[in-house]
Each structure stands twice: as structure tokens, then as C-alpha cells.
Chain A
Amino acid sequence: MKVEFSAEQNALRKELRAYFEALMTPELKAECDESMGEGGGPLWREALKQMGRDGWIGVGWPKELGGRGMSPIEQFIFVEEVMRAGYPFPFLTTESVGPQLAEHGNEWQKREIVPKILAGECLIAIGYSEPGAGTDLASLKTSAVRDGDGWLINGQKMWTSLAHFCDYVWLACRTDPDAAKPHKGISMFLVPTNDPGWSCSPVVTLGGVRTNATYYDNIRVNDDALVGEENAGWKLITSQLNRERLSLVNFGPTAEMFNNVVRWAQQTDLPEGGKIIDQPWVQINLAKVRAGVEALKLVCYKQAWAMTEGQLDMADASAAKVYGSEFFIEVYRLLGEVIGQASLINRRTPGADPIASRIERLYRTASIITFGGGTNEIQRDIISAAGLWMPRASR
């Protein structure tokens, strides 16, 4: 048992921190702020390609796939640092869909798509939810029907985040409407967003973040687009979600925000004398965040280590997702209290404090991942069944 990084890993961390300090120019930061922490702008795209050229996106990937051959821990260090730097990193593409394609993809996907992902030149959105299929995902209706040597895809997806600037949608489709169990008739496809049958309309959310409804109107794809076996998509969905869960609760940005608020409270004067941080209740709020961040760090590192050992535990992945997503809400509340009324001031106000206005925005976005990425109720079902061997109700 040892929680510390090796000397090489610490050096890597230091190198990455300096790298991103240089990469995150004021212009890029401003563009990322404008896109509500989502990315997609021209400078953002260029920076992603730069990371690809510099060999960072695949730092923990095997060499034969175009990576640097380090372990999932180094990969995790990279993602932690890029997110800590405030760059909206497209982790769904690189950390969850990418590895699935590398493992289960066909020749074309491995040859054409995977290298582009590692080069920062290919972005993929996730198409699971539909107007009538959310938590009960296996009831999805978007269909892919055999059409000669290809497939004809029709349907509608909801909450297809990032799709408006992605190249493909990782799309769950029904391929066997008569399967004995609904989840046994689902297949995964990579559907190009430049197809004339593809369209999307924006959905604006409380946090200002844009997501999408996406439409699939007689899109014809060939067999290259099918990922894995026909009707064997469910396993790909669940393992993609397991990987996604770890990225969702990355603790780097929270650690950075905690440090920033501490420095702010140490430096900011109280009108009656002394500093903000001298107040006992401020210290207690900060201590609560600090204790919680430490747990999040350990939960994340344990999973990065478990991936290195090839034993990612389902209950642990769900526990990390539930803990992290609910803790983030608490963090924004506790740190917002320390900052006070200023944590309601939007960044567009002249003179708005960058830390305070970040909390203003994050507090509004925090609920997304308690239901996104598999709602926390389902995660708790998984935990009690897989972690505590409790029987669960059949559905």
C-alpha cells in the first residue's frame, strides 16, 4: 500500500503542469469561458491537436496503438492535469469511447478512427438516451435495419452533448426488435455527423451549457460503422459507462479550485480587520472541502491503479461516480459560502472575480452528473448488489 506517485510520475506531473500553463493562453482561456467549459472553438481545436502532436493524448496507451506505452496511472495524471488547467478536455472521446474502439473495433475503426482520436483530430459524442428511454436505456427505439451490405438508421436521441461539433456519434441502435430481452437486441454504430440525414437542435441548460437533440433520418452506413458484434452492444455500453464514470469525477479541477479559494481567503481583507480566512466558520467550510477532496483523490487513484492491474471493480466505479458527483455540489456550495454574495456575480460583469464567477457557473451545472453517466439511483443499485451482495428487485 503506497499512495505516493513514483519519482518519474511526479516529474511527469510537473512537466504537464508547466506544459498546460504555457498552452492555456489568455485567448484560449477566454474562448473556453465563452463556450461554458465545453470547448469546440478554433483555438480549443488547435490546442487539442497540439496535445496530440506532442504525444500526450495517448500517453498511457500501448505503443502498437500509437500511444506512449505508459500505464493507466500516467494516463490519469495527464487527464487530471489537463482538466486542472481548465481546458475542457473531450474525455468521452479519448478516455471512454476510444479505448472501446481500440479493444473491440474492426479493422477500419482501428486504422482510421483510433489514430485520429490520439491525434486530437476526431471527436465522438455519445448517443444513448432518447425521449422515451433514459435510465431504462434498453428500451431504446432508434433502429438500424439491414439494407443490403449496410444498415439504415432511423430515430432520435436526446442529451447528445457535444454532438454539434463532433465528427461521429457512438450510437446505440436496436437491431433485433424480437430479442428475448431488450438489451440483447442492441448494437453499437459509429455514425458520421456529416451525413445529410443527420441533424441536431440545441437544448440550453441551467448552467448555460448546450446539449442537443439529434435526429437520424434514413442514414445509410456500411458494416465498417458497426462496432463489435451485431446485437452485442450492451456490453460495450456498460464498459464505456464504467470508464466514463471515472473521468466524470476527476478531482484535479476541484483541488485547484480549493487551493485558489484558500489563497483568496488568505489574502482578502475583512473590512473590520484581519483576513477572510481568520473566521472560524470559513476554516470549517474549507476543512470540509479538504477532507472530501482527499477522499475523491484516493477513490480516483485507486481506480487508475485498478485499471493498471486490470481489475476495475464495478461497485468501486459506481461508488466513485456517486461520491464525486454529490460531493461536487457540496464543494460549490461550501466554497461559494466562503466567497459570499460575489459567488453569484456572473463573469460578464465588469471586474468580476474569476474564481467567484467560476463558482457562480459551476454551481448551476453541478446536477448534470448526478443523473448523467447513469443516474445515481442505478449506481446505488449496482453498489448494493455488486458490492454488498444484496438481492435486487427484478425489473
Chain B
Amino acid sequence: MDFGLSEQQRDVQNLAREILGEQVTAEKLAKYDSYAAERFDRELWQQVAQAGLLGVAIEEQYGGMGFGFFEAALIAEEVGRNIAPLPFISHCISAAMPVQQFGSAEQKQRLLPGVVSGEQLLTAALMEANNEDPTQPRVCSTRADGEAVLISGEKLCVPFAAQADYVLLAATDGDGAVVVMLPRQAEGVALEAMEVTTYEPQYRLTLSNVRVGAENILARGEQAQQLLASVAEHTTAALCAHQLGASDKAMRMTASYTAERQQFGVPIATFQAVGHRAANCFIDVECLRLNCYQAISRLDDGVDASVEVAIAKVWAGDVGHRVSYAAQHLHGGTGIDRDYPLWRYCTWLRHNEMMLGSSARSLAALGSKIAVGEAFCA
């Protein structure tokens, strides 16, 4: 039992905190509002890569730091705290980690050094229309073409698809799934920009008989199911960490603002109605923090974490929503004024709440596990 961070973990956290805290400013973020510019700070991405942070969970033989998922999730938390315009989760967690775990030696050698250096960008297509379960692709289907596969169908809300070199993507072959690293330039791939609440670059990715050669097939059959379950859990946990950073920051902005803002001649923080709503946020964020850290530590240890991840996602959804509205409300009009930085946090809190399963969906998933006796309290 240890609720502290190791020295190594604190080092990674501090490094990310230092770089992102210094480089991500409200002025810079304002440039991306309403898609005025592509929300991807490539200069910062290079800086993060040079600091080694893109390779934090990648083995040393590929140029990485050789640490684990826990450290990577701590970076995701800092990305959330600063709502940094970087494809950290889609690149490092949703795509690079499965390549490392499930890829062939050739695939790892070809893809991972570029992942760490920032020269190659990966992403993952986890969503289909009316299907938010990334472990069960239904809209994209595949058929064999010799050793290769032909894929048709559509993925939605694929982050940074136009910027990426490869897209991790799953399609059903009728019996199970095939997971590929789709070269974005492959013939038959079409991208259409989608505008979403956060202004993150996202795309509708359409595939018409796209031929993916054996060299880019990552997993089939049972392996593919394992890979997709792992991607879903690790990405969900990373989203919880992002949510933790973002909600902690929104809460602390609110505490500072209410301590400064005067009405009736006193700081409004001195009113119990204000202090108590902020205290509720503190309790909420603490519950999210502990559940999130528990989920990422279990995933890091390689033990079953499906119940813990589902619970963390319930908290991430609920806490993000409640902190967002408490923060807006306690700021008054300032909270929604686009010249004040809070509003951008609110869009990200919503993004993390909905992505890979809302609270309602996560509760239903947890409820099914309880029903079959898989979620008793120890």
C-alpha cells in the first residue's frame, strides 16, 4: 500500500509540468479557437519528444525511456492540466503502446523509433457510427486478399488522422477482428474534417477496398481481441488522467478567482455557499484522482483492471461535468467569457466525459459485471 509517487514518477511528472506549464499559454491556445489554425503545436511536440516524453513507455532499444504506463498516464494528466494542443493520448497510448505489445519485431523496429523521436505520428480510429465499443468493430469490414486484407467502411472522430502517418484501425472479418496499422496515404482512404467541441483536429475516415499488406497487419483473431481490449482500457484510463488534470486545474482557477473577486466588500470565497461548492469539487477531484491512479497502477502492473477502469470512467464523467458547471457558475460571466481561459477547459471536460463511454454507459457495463458476479468488493 503506497499512495505516493516514486522518484522516477515524480521526475517525469515534473518534467512534463515544467515544459507544458511554460509553453502552453492562453494566448497560444487562442490561435486554435474555432479551427482558425490546426490545433497541433508541432514545435512543442518536438520539444516534448526531445525531452524523451514521447518514449516514456517505449523500450530503450527503440530509443524510449523504458518506463511504464503509469508514467505515460502522468504525462496525460499534465497534458490535461494545460489542455496542451498535442496528440499525446492518440499517439503514445492508443497506437504506440499496442504496437510495442503486439507488433512483430519488424513492425516495432520500423515504427517505434519514429514514435519516440516525433518523426512519425500515429493515431487510432476507435469510433464508428452508433458504435462506441472499440473492441467490436461493426461498420468496418475486411476480407482476405492473399496475405493482405481489403478493408471497407467508415470510422468517425479519428483524432489527427490527416496529420498521422499510420492509423491503428480494426475491422471485422465476420468471425472476429483484424487490427492494422493503416498507412494514411494508402489508396482508397478518404478523410473529411469534422468540427468538434474542443477544436481538436478530427476526421471522418472512409475506406473503399483499401488494401493493407501483411507487413501492416498487427493482430488477428484472439490476439486482435486482446489488443483491442487493451487499447480500450489503456485509452480510457489515460482519458481519466487527462480529465483529472483538467478538472483539478479548473477547480483551482475557481478557488483563486473567488479569493480575488470582491462583492459586498469581501472576497466571494468567504461566502459559505461559494466555499462549499468548491469543497464539493475538491472531494470529487480527490475521488477521481484515487480511482484513476488505482486503474493506471493496475494496468501498469499487468493485472486485471476492467472493473477499476470502468469505475474510474464513471467518476471521470461525473466529476468532469460537475466541476465544469461549478467552475463556470462560481466565476459568473467571467467563466464563459472567451477572453478568460476557463471555457476551453469546459469543452475538454465534456470531451473526456463522452469519449469511450459516458458515465451511463460505464455504469451499465459495470452493472453487467456485477450481475455475473465479477465485481464483488474484496
Residue of A295, A380, A389 near B287 (CB, 8 A) is: A295
A293 to B376, CA, bound (A): 11
A258 to B307, CA, bound (A): 15
A266 to B276, CA, bound (A): 40
Q: Which residues of B contact A (CB under 8 A)?
A: 1-6, 9, 70, 251-252, 255, 258-259, 266-267, 269-272, 274-276, 278-280, 282-283, 286-287, 290-291, 293-294, 297-298, 301, 307-308, 311, 314-315, 363-364, 366-368, 370-371, 373, 375-378
Within 8 A of B (CB), among A370-395: 377, 379-381, 383-385, 387-393
Residues of B within 8 A of A64 (CB): none
**Residue in chain A with minimal CB distance to B378:** A255
A381 to B276, CA, bound (A): 7
A260 to B368, CA, bound (A): 17
A-B residue pair count with CB separations less than 8 angstroms: 162
Is the beta-carbon distance between A380 and B315 smaller than 8 angstroms?
no
**Residue in chain B with minimal CB distance to A259:** B376
Shortest Cβ gap from B3 to chain A (Å): 5
**Residue in chain A with minimal CB distance to B297:** A1
A309 to B298, CA, bound (A): 23
A255 to B274, CA, bound (A): 33
Is the beta-carbon distance between A291 and B293 smaller than 8 angstroms?
no
Of A4, A5, A9, A295, most buried by chain B (CB within 10 Å of CB) is A295
Residue of B269, B291, B294, B298 near A384 (CB, 8 A) is: B269
Q: Which of A139-147, A178-186, A278-286, A353-361 contacts B (4 or more CB under 8 A)?
A: A278-286
A384 to B2, CA, bound (A): 26
Residue of A266, A304, A322, A381 near B275 (CB, 8 A) is: A381
Residue of B3, B271, B282, B370 near A1 (CB, 8 A) is: B3
Is the beta-carbon distance between A388 and B290 smaller than 8 angstroms?
no
Within 8 A of B (CB), among A275-307: 277-278, 280, 282-284, 286-288, 290-291, 293-295, 297-299, 301-302, 304-306
Residue of B6, B279, B363, B375 near A388 (CB, 8 A) is: B279
Residue of A1, A291, A388 near B314 (CB, 8 A) is: A291
Residue of B290, B314, B366, B376 near A298 (CB, 8 A) is: B290
Is the beta-carbon distance between A323 and B287 smaller than 8 angstroms?
yes
Is the beta-carbon distance between A389 and B1 smaller than 8 angstroms?
no
Is the beta-carbon distance between A287 and B283 smaller than 8 angstroms?
no
Contact status of A392 and B275, CB under 8 A, knowing A3-B297, A383-B283: yes
Is the beta-carbon distance between B377 and A384 smaller than 8 angstroms?
no
Residues of A within 8 A of B258 (CB): 390
Contact status of A298 and B294, CB under 8 A, knowing A1-B2, A293-B377: yes
Residues of B within 8 A of A258 (CB): 377
Residues of B within 8 A of A309 (CB): 4
A290 to B364, CA, bound (A): 12
A393 to B263, CA, bound (A): 13
A-B contacts, 19 of them at CB < 8 A, read: A1-B70, A3-B297, A287-B364, A294-B311, A299-B286, A302-B3, A305-B3, A319-B282, A322-B279, A323-B283, A323-B287, A380-B279, A388-B255, A388-B278, A390-B259, A390-B278, A392-B275, A393-B266, A393-B271
Residues of B within 8 A of A349 (CB): none
Residue of A287, A298, A391 near B367 (CB, 8 A) is: A287
Residues of A within 8 A of B267 (CB): 390-391
Is the beta-carbon distance between B370 and A262 smaller than 8 angstroms?
yes
Within 8 A of B (CB), among A301-360: 301-302, 304-306, 309, 315-316, 319, 322-323
Is the beta-carbon distance between B371 and A383 smaller than 8 angstroms?
no
Q: Quick check: is A73 within 8 A (CB to CB) of the other chain?
A: yes
A299 to B367, CA, bound (A): 22
Is the beta-carbon distance between A1 and B363 smaller than 8 angstroms?
no
Is the beta-carbon distance between B9 and A1 smaller than 8 angstroms?
yes
**Residue in chain A with minimal CB distance to B4:** A1
Instruction: Given contact pairs A277-B370, A389-B259, A391-B259, enumerate 19 new A-B contacts (beta carbons under 8 Å).
Output: A1-B3, A3-B298, A258-B377, A259-B376, A266-B373, A284-B364, A286-B367, A290-B311, A294-B294, A295-B291, A301-B1, A322-B283, A377-B276, A380-B275, A381-B275, A388-B252, A390-B258, A390-B270, A390-B278
Contact status of A290 and B366, CB under 8 A, knowing A1-B70, A322-B279, A390-B258: yes
Residues of A within 8 A of B252 (CB): 388
Residues of B within 8 A of A9 (CB): 1
Is the beta-carbon distance between B279 and A287 smaller than 8 angstroms?
no
Is the beta-carbon distance between B276 and A294 smaller than 8 angstroms?
no
A377 to B278, CA, bound (A): 12
Q: Quick check: is A194 within 8 A (CB to CB) of the other chain?
A: no
Residues of A within 8 A of B282 (CB): 315, 319, 383-384, 387-388
A358 to B15, CA, bound (A): 52
A278 to B377, CA, bound (A): 20
A73 to B282, CA, bound (A): 24
Residues of A within 8 A of B363 (CB): 284, 287-288, 291
A335 to B214, CA, bound (A): 53
Residue of B70, B280, B370, B377 near A380 (CB, 8 A) is: B280
